[in-house]
Structures are given as C-alpha cells and as structure tokens.
Amino acid sequence: MAERQFRLPGSPYEELANIIVAYGTRDDASRTGDVGKLDSVHQSSVSRTNGFLTEIGVLQGETKKVITRRGRALALALARKDRDGIRTNWREVVGSTEFLQNVVSAVKLREGMLYPTVQAYIAHAAGQPRNNPVMTGAGAIVEILKTAGLLREEAGELVATFDEWPASDEPDPPEEPEVPPAEVSATVEALPPAPNGPAPTVSIHVQVRCTADEIEDLGPKLRALIAELSGDA
C-alpha cells in the first residue's frame, strides 16, 4: 500500500499569503470561487493550495472551506504586515505540522543544504514528481520556514537556526491531587452516667482515610487498633 502523499501548495509564497488573507479577513470568502474573485489570485492556484492549507490546519472543511482560529490569526498578521506576528504564527503552524518539522530536521542534520536540494527533498518527502508546480510549492514551503525564522540563507546554503519549537497551545493535563497516606485513627469519649443510672459508657469513633488501592492493607491496621483498644479496657 502506497504511503499517503503530502499536499504541497500550488502557488509561490506571496500568492499563498494572499489566499490566506482572503480566507481570513473576508467573511464571505468560504468557497474557492469566492477567494479567486476577491484577490488577484487565479482560482486554480487557490484550488491547488486549499489541500495544503488544510494539511497545516489553516483551513478546515470539504466543499466549503472555513478558516481556523490559527489560520485567522495568521491571516490578520499577514494583512497587517506585522513581521513579528507573521513569524510567531508561522512558527505555531510549523510546530503543529510534522512534515514541516521534518524538513527543518533534514536541513539541521545535513548542517546546511542548497536551496534546490531542499526543494527536491520536499518534493520527494511529499511523494510528488519534480515538475514545475511541485517545485513551486516546495519553494513556498522553504519561504514559510525562512519567514518563521527556522531556516536562513548563509554562504549560499540554507541552514537551520536551531531555535526551539514554540510551545503547544494545548492545555497542560491537570495535576493529580496529592493523596495523603492511608490512616486509621480512633477517638475515645466517655459519656457521663445518668443519676442513679448504670456505669459510664465509652463511645469509640474510628476514622479511616485511604485510596482505593490501599483498602487491602487496612486489615492489619484495623486489627492492631482493636487489639490496642481491647488491651486498654
């Protein structure tokens, strides 16, 4: 069984950014045709790129594409030309997309790769032929990684920056409450006798505090407590 192909963008980076802005800043841009009319991007480019944007969590849906929370944040940063915001949001996208992380890791392991070599690696890793549209999409991915500050050009090669991945936006699992160790205790209370009544009575209150896993160990402790109270009687 053949491995699933990773869908690459069908546009250069600048067109890809325009498509994201169109989806993220226009409420009526929910269909491919809508986005093609709103911006100076050919509709076929939008259609080819939709698969990639769905892969990286910027869009969701089938016939109608809906911008995600992450996608809208990226779109607004791109629309405002907010360089820090663009970098931060692209890094979040990369941090949640294994394929993009693998590209950075490949460059890091080789301690630098030529730009065309990285494009060829992306096409091969995605299971795509090295034709012009695929290599264009691979180039767009390189530009995404450069914009995210994860790759940079140095001495004619692309090198990894060794920056840490951004923290996940998923909430941390709740901490397990600290459970005190099993404890068996008793209090003895002498009740005063009634006038002309019988001898004073003794009331014993036993308190057990434990987890479900510690129930089996309570028997010896309870028997020891009973024996101790009986000896004092």
Can you give the chain as a three-state secondary structure string? CCCCCCCCCCCCHHHHHHHHHHHHHCCCCCCHHHHHHHCCCCHHHHHHHHHHHHHCCCEECCCCCEECHHHHHHHHHHHHCCHHHHHHHHHHHHHCCHHHHHHHHHHHHCCCECHHHHHHHHHHHCCCCCCHHHHHHHHHHHHHHHHCCCEEEECCEEEECCCCCCCCCCCCCCCCCCCCCCEEEEEEEEECCCCCCCCCEEEEEEEEECCHHHHHHHHHHHHHHHHHHHHHC
Please list, in sequence order, all residues whose beta carbon lies within 8 angstroms of the beta carbon of residue 107, skipping any fewer than 6 positions away: 113, 118, 151, 158, 159, 160
Residues in the chain: 233
Instruction: Compute the average pLDDT of residues 78-105.
Output: 95
* Dihedral pair phi/psi, residue 156, rounded to 5°: 80, 5
Q: What is the pTM of this model?
A: 0.65
Instruction: Compute the average pLDDT of residues 62-91.
Output: 92
Instruction: Compute the average pLDDT of residues 109-137.
Output: 94
Whether 146 and 138 have beta carbons less than 8 Å apart is answered as no
**CA 203 to each of CA 14, 68, 206, 209, 218: distance values in angstroms, whole numbers, following the listed order:** 83, 65, 10, 20, 22
Helices 83-95 and 69-80: angle between axes, nearest 10 degrees = 150
pLDDT score at 233: 45
Tokens of 151: 């790759």
Confidence of residue 171 (pLDDT cuts 50, 70, 90): very low
pLDDT score at 10: 87
Does residue 81 have a pLDDT over 60? yes
- Lowest-confidence pick of 19-23, 68-72, 194-198: 194-198
Q: Which residues pair with 187 in a beta bridge?
A: 205
Domains identified in the chain and CATH numbers: 13-160 (1.10.10), 183-232 (no CATH)
pLDDT tens per residue across span 180-210: 555 555 555 555 665 666 665 656 666 666 6
Whether 57 and 97 have beta carbons less than 8 Å apart is answered as yes
pLDDT score at 205: 63
